Structure 1
Amino acid sequence: MFMNRRSFLGASAAAASVIAITGCSRGGGGGGGVTFLIDNDPSAVAGAEALTEAFNSSQEEYTFSVDTRPGGTEGDNLVKTRLSTQDMPDVFVYNSGSLFQAIRPTQNLTDLSDQPWVSRLQESFVPAVSAEDKVYGAPYGGASAGGIMYHRPTYEKLGLEIPRTWDDFIANCQAAHAEGVTGIIQSFGDTWTSQLLVLGDFHNVAANNPDFAEQYTAHQIGFATDPNALRGFEHTAEVCSSDFINEDYVSATYQQAIGYVAAGEGAHYPILSSAVAEIAASTPDLVEDLGFFAIPGEDAAKNGLTIWLPSGMYVPAFAENPDAALAFIEFVTSQEGLDILAAEAPPTGPYMVTDVDLPAEVPTATKDLQVYFDTEGATTPALEFLSPIKGPNLENILIELGTGSIDAKTAAQNYDKDVEKQAQQLGLEGW
């Protein structure tokens, strides 16, 4: 999963109980039976079942089955409970980044630093699954990005170029509006989507202050006190008060929003790149009308993309079949394994292993992301992969901002207060 939208932004948990697809819930030994735990998103389940079937057919020593868990907060709590009670299957998929740190990897997980695939990892992924200089996870699937999904035919008709500065982006929104196309879509009906112009802007923050994540974690700087970090809040206020936003932006849902852009009713939508995969599945005849670019900053020379790293595959420290778990992870990180996964769950961005390319048949909008990965210095992991601090109320704060209840500076100050409790719970110095 990519970082799917529930885990990426902490949206409401999926209301589902844990359902065993096949096999038992524990990675039990004896007889070679091993369980692979994945979240219950349908595409995630389909990919996991294809992988276990292929792995089972490739050897005779182990037999893997799939078990599922809810997403969101419910799933987070379940993972923590099963680790604490030592009732976790021998291989499981969970978030990388700040949520990975919250499951106490040095205590609960197996050190995978000596595994052969570690040398093939993209450099940007390693810190997201590491603790105390040891690697505890392998990437599951591809990366994704936060940026702007746009309607390519509108750009072609109006002769617009991909903007590399915020001012150019606003000019493109206005040009589309002048031709009867909504300049920018927002979808506050699904509150998690309100956060893209802030969280997806982190490349621009880091490009101007490379030490922001470190200073932020040490409580030396905040969103309200750094002018670069404040801009995401200012941009949110700007687009929501504009005449080129969709009239129903307060009530519009995520599904409506991606439909607006796919159909050409809207020119731009700040969103995760996973939206492209959803359109490819629901309206494949429209997916090639879409493109994707980074949220522009103030300086064209520093233009780049904020990326969300994929979830990790982990082995509990108490695994009953560690050899089977390691063999399975090696298979999943191979070209064969990732090709199988892509056939059931199309990647939303480049893989985090250096020697596996995206399939040739991915949508153009997904290929657009590769350009940033191929350009030195043009990608930055989202802040949650560089700092353990992420407040739970950002989406609600941005709804207040976007509906005019508070101004940008107040919103940023409120978010800086929001993260304090989490930082204190983590025992971070300076908080």
Structure 2
Amino acid sequence: MKAACLRVAAAATAVVTSLTSCGSSEPTSADGTVTLKLLIDNAEATVAAAESVVRAFEAAEPTVEIDTETRPGGAEGDNIVKTRLSTGEMADVFWYNSGSLIQALNPSQTLVDLTGDPVLANVQESYLPVVSHQDKVYGVPAGTAAGGGILYNRKVYADLGLETPRSWAEFMANNDKVKAAGLAPVISTFKETWTSQLFVLGDFYNVQAAVPAFAAGYTANKAKYATTPAALSGFRKLAEVHAAGLLNDGFGSATLDNGLKLLAEGKGAHYPMLTGVMPALIEQYPSVKTDIGFFGIPGDDPGTHGATVWEPAGAYIPASSEHVDAAKKFLAFIASPAGAQAFSEGVAPTGPYRIKGAELPEDVIQVAKDLSAYIESGASAPALEFVSPVKGPSLEQITVAVGSGLTTPAEGAAQYDKDVEKQARQLGLAGW
């Protein structure tokens, strides 16, 4: 990333920060060098990974330079991506969610079709469905898989003589012992509303184990959260930990950083979260490489314990790019063992890659080991958003209300069933 100047450009109503070279803004220089724009979210881990990948790519491909822009995450970032795609002002390559969220981007009109392209040569076939739309492939994996479940402090567990729970009853019993020790049993950070969703979204392994056809029925408008006990369970778990007084003080105004600090310092034992947040902790708290572990959200039956997996984000090329060939070179590098190694050098991987021949480093952090064990044993399932295009935009507000005791689980589930209707109709899904 040949970045010497910092400029700020408006995109829709949001601010996008761009790290660019000083001098000419022309995309192709007199010597034939092509400059690609790359848009990523502004999370510290994403930026570190992108910087490492760009450096390695530019060293391997000296005729292509990359200028990297950052955007906010969450709903604000979603709006920036959609706006820039719709106006033809998207960067030449952008990193964005895989799964249900790309369905709302109108991929057949806004993205370059990569179906059958050599760019996909190293991509594991099992990953392709999550970057596909109407049987066309539009992206490659940018990063590693992540687990959605419970991050826990292993030192707290050792000090209190606790064992990793395989059932919800065991989890709640552990919480009682943590509370008796004067620590926060379950960390919640509802100031950043997206963090409130994990008890619901991370519970999908248990939903699929109980109702294997739920995703298909949900997509066809035949299965609902409010009327499927296994699906409603995630909302009930969210409400139960609040009703039992297990949350940290000030959970309604706490941020992700606050939550991670409580976990790292051992002042809180459990944090319902994605393993992908871990790299942000490592520089400040090196011990979390081994002190923080991961387990899937427990269900009722310890014999069917497993974990929900989030597939890697995707790297995509917009149809508006004037440098598709150069952009494909960049995507091919991202989706190669060399690209995966560059990712690992930039940020600690928190799960396995979806790239053939890509291996995790020997000193991989504990949460990645724990997640890989679930995947390798077959005790894992992709999150619902990777097997169904239906995901409502208001879940994070609904789960904040349920997790704060303001809305009952049944009411929250019914609200979410209503929330997804508009998106399903916009996607033109049958049955809606």
**Does the TM-score normalized on the shorter chain lie above 0.5?**
yes
Extract unaligned runs of 5+ from structure 1: 1-12
The amino acid across from 1:195 in the alignment is: Q
**Percent sequence identity over matched residues?**
47
Counterparts of 1:361 and 1:251, CA distance in 2: 35
Distance 1:110 1:307, change over 3 A: same
Query: Which one of the candidate residues 67, 71, 74 is aligned to 2:73?
Result: 71
Counterparts of 2:256 and 2:308, CA distance in 1: 20
Deviation at 1:319, TM superposition (A): 3.2
Tell me which residue corresponds to 1:154: 156
8 Å CA contact 1:224, 1:230 repeated in 2: yes
Deviation at 1:417, TM superposition (A): 1.3
Tell me which residue corresponds to 2:229: 227
Distance 1:27 1:346, change over 3 A: farther
Task: State how 1:311-322 maps to structure 2 within 5 Å.
Answer: 311-322=313-324
Deviation at 1:391, TM superposition (A): 1.6
SS in structure 1 at match of 2:19: coil
SS in structure 1 at match of 2:308: strand
SS in structure 1 at match of 2:63: coil
Counterparts of 2:103 and 2:329, CA distance in 1: 24
Query: Which one of the candidate residues 88, 113, 116 is aligned to 1:114?
Result: 116
Distance 1:75 1:268, change over 3 A: closer
Distance 1:243 1:92, change over 3 A: closer
Question: Are 1:57 and 2:55 matched, yes or no?
Answer: no
SS in structure 2 at match of 1:64: strand
Distance 1:115 1:415, change over 3 A: same
The amino acid across from 2:195 in the alignment is: T
Task: State how 1:2-81 maps to structure 2 within 5 Å.
Answer: 17-22=15-20, 31-35=32-36, 36-81=38-83
Counterparts of 2:26 and 2:127, CA distance in 1: 28
Tell me which residue corresponds to 1:261: 263
Deviation at 1:19, TM superposition (A): 2.8
The amino acid across from 1:414 in the alignment is: Q
Calculate the TM-score normalised by the size of structure 1.
Answer: 0.89
Query: Which one of the candidate residues 83, 100, 104 is aligned to 1:98?
Result: 100
Question: Are 1:403 and 2:401 matched, yes or no?
Answer: no
* Structure 1 stretch displaced more, 320-329 or 30-39: 30-39
Counterparts of 1:364 and 1:42, CA distance in 2: 20
CA RMSD of aligned residues (A): 2.5
Task: State how 1:250-399 maps to structure 2 within 5 Å.
Answer: 250-376=252-378, 378-399=379-400
Counterparts of 1:246 and 1:297, CA distance in 2: 23
SS in structure 2 at match of 1:271: strand
SS in structure 2 at match of 1:45: helix
Extract unaligned runs of 5+ from structure 2: 1-10
Distance 1:25 1:405, change over 3 A: farther
Counterparts of 2:211 and 2:385, CA distance in 1: 16
**Size of the alignment, in residue pairs?**
418
Distance 1:213 1:139, change over 3 A: same
Deviation at 1:402, TM superposition (A): 2.4
Higher strand share: 2
Query: Which one of the candidate residues 181, 197, 202 is aligned to 1:200?
Result: 202
Deviation at 1:119, TM superposition (A): 5.0
Deviation at 1:117, TM superposition (A): 5.6
8 Å CA contact 2:336, 2:356 repeated in 1: no
CA deviations 1:289-342 (Å, max 9, x no partner) are: 211111011222322111111211112234322221222112122222222222
Distance 1:327 1:171, change over 3 A: same
The amino acid across from 1:21 in the alignment is: L
Distance 1:336 1:72, change over 3 A: same
* Structure 1 stretch displaced more, 50-59 or 366-375: 50-59
Question: Are 1:173 and 2:175 matched, yes or no?
Answer: yes
8 Å CA contact 1:52, 1:65 repeated in 2: no
Question: Are 1:211 and 2:213 matched, yes or no?
Answer: yes
Distance 1:320 1:158, change over 3 A: same
The amino acid across from 2:417 in the alignment is: D
The amino acid across from 2:428 in the alignment is: G
8 Å CA contact 1:150, 1:261 repeated in 2: yes
SS in structure 1 at match of 2:66: strand
Name segments (4+ residues, structure 1) moved above 6 Å. Answer: none
Calculate the TM-score normalised by the size of structure 2.
Answer: 0.89
Query: Which one of the candidate residues 86, 89, 102 is aligned to 2:88?
Result: 86
